[in-house]
């Protein structure tokens, strides 16, 4: 079943599979929706097209003949239908028990998992996904193979779920003065519970100079804007050193609940989604990470 284009363009898309991230992804979507008053939640799942075109299936088809091959494909389809129904049922139970009267729908289609977000680019305001998917289990040193591709292709804010959901009380913003992080802060200013959050902006200097001074000045202005929007606890800090080390240390030191990053920047942060820095931060920071274009 598929989701038709809608006049409202502020749905949240929760990308799920049968991995252990299904529950926290749904829970993070419920929380995010409560902050931005999204119109609905679309629970999106992909039936991997490649599962029906594996070499072993083709070899079996050639060895067994046409009829056994067709029977094997039919059995794979039956198993996949059971998997999809299990995912839908689990998502339904979580959403219906949230008590918020959430409008939601389930969308399953055949394709490639990395393309799960593409159909919703024009009807959604954000995407929630897990760090890892089917086949990775609890191996914390591994990241989902589709994660980087989804983050590269999505023009929407992406919330990368942690392994377990917990109420979010604090936010760390990796500030570099870019338009991406400015978009993120404008988004944060609209949170319904902004007044209950502790917000800290951190700028990691990569040397002295005019550019760094300009960023620090802009960061101070953003602190004022957050206070004006209703945030009661907000401050900013400027540090020097390695970007990912400083951010990861700050996350641990202050027991941060959510890390916000810009996907495009003017410094090394601009490489967060094209190189090893992204992978390192996502691996090291075992908390939800909210990214913006």
- Per cent of the chain over pLDDT 70 is 77
CA distance 291 to 285: 14
Give the model's confidence band at 266: pLDDT under 50 very low, under 70 low, under 90 confident, else very high. Answer: very low
Q: Is the pLDDT of residue 48 over 60?
A: yes
DSSP-assigned letters across all residues of 76-134:
HHHHHHHHHHHHHHHHHHHHHTTSS---EEEEEEEE-GGGTTGGGTTTEEEEEEES--T
- Whole-model pTM: value is 0.86
What is the architecture of the domain spanning 170-292?
3-Layer(aba) Sandwich (3.40)
What's the pLDDT tens digit per position in 2-44? 444 444 568 999 999 998 999 999 999 999 999 998 999 999 9
Specify the pairing of strand 158-161 against strand 289-292. Answer: antiparallel
Same fold, 11-52+80-161 and 170-292: yes
Closest CA to 52 of 64, 42, 63, 61: 61
Class of domain 11-52+80-161: alpha beta
> What's the rounded Cα separation, in Å, for the pair 187 and 183?
6
59 exposure class (CB count in 10 Å sphere: 0-12, 13-18, 19+): exposed
What mean pLDDT do residues 225-233 have? 97
pLDDT of 102-124, one tens digit each? 999 999 999 888 888 889 998 89
- Pick 228 or 76 by higher pLDDT: 228
Domain ranges of the chain: 11-52+80-161, 170-292
């Amino acid at each position: 079943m598929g989701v038709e284009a809608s006049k409202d363009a502020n749905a949240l898309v929760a990308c799920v599979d049968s991995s252990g991230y299904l529950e926290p992804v749904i829970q993070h979507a419920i929380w995010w929706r409560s902050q931005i008053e999204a119109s609905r939640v679309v629970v999106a799942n992909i039936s991997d097209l490649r599962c029906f075109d594996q070499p072993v299936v083709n070899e079996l088809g050639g060895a067994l003949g046409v009829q056994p091959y067709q029977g094997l494909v039919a059995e794979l389809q039956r198993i996949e239908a059971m998997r999809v129904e299990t995912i839908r049922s689990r998502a339904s139970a979580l959403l219906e028990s949230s008590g918020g009267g959430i409008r939601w729908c389930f969308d399953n289609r055949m394709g490639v998992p990395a393309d799960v977000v593409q159909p919703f680019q024009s009807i959604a305001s954000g995407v929630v996904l897990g760090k890892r998917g089917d086949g990775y289990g609890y191996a914390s040193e591994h990241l989902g193979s589709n994660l980087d591709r989804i983050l590269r292709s999505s023009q929407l804010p992406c919330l990368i779920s942690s392994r377990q959901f917990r109420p979010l009380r604090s936010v760390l913003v990796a500030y570099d003065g870019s338009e991406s992080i400015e978009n993120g802060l404008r988004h944060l200013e609209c949170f319904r519970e902004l007044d209950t959050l502790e917000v800290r902006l951190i700028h990691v200097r990569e040397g002295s100079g005019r550019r760094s001074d300009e960023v620090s000045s802009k960061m101070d202005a953003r602190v004022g804007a957050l206070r004006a929007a209703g945030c009661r606890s907000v401050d900013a800090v400027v540090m020097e050193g390695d970007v990912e080390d400083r951010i990861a240390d700050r996350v641990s030191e202050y027991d941060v609940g959510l890390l916000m990053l810009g996907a495009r920047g003017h410094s090394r942060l601009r490489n967060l989604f094209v190189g090893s820095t992204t992978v390192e931060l996502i691996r090291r920071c075992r908390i939800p990470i909210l990214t913006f274009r």
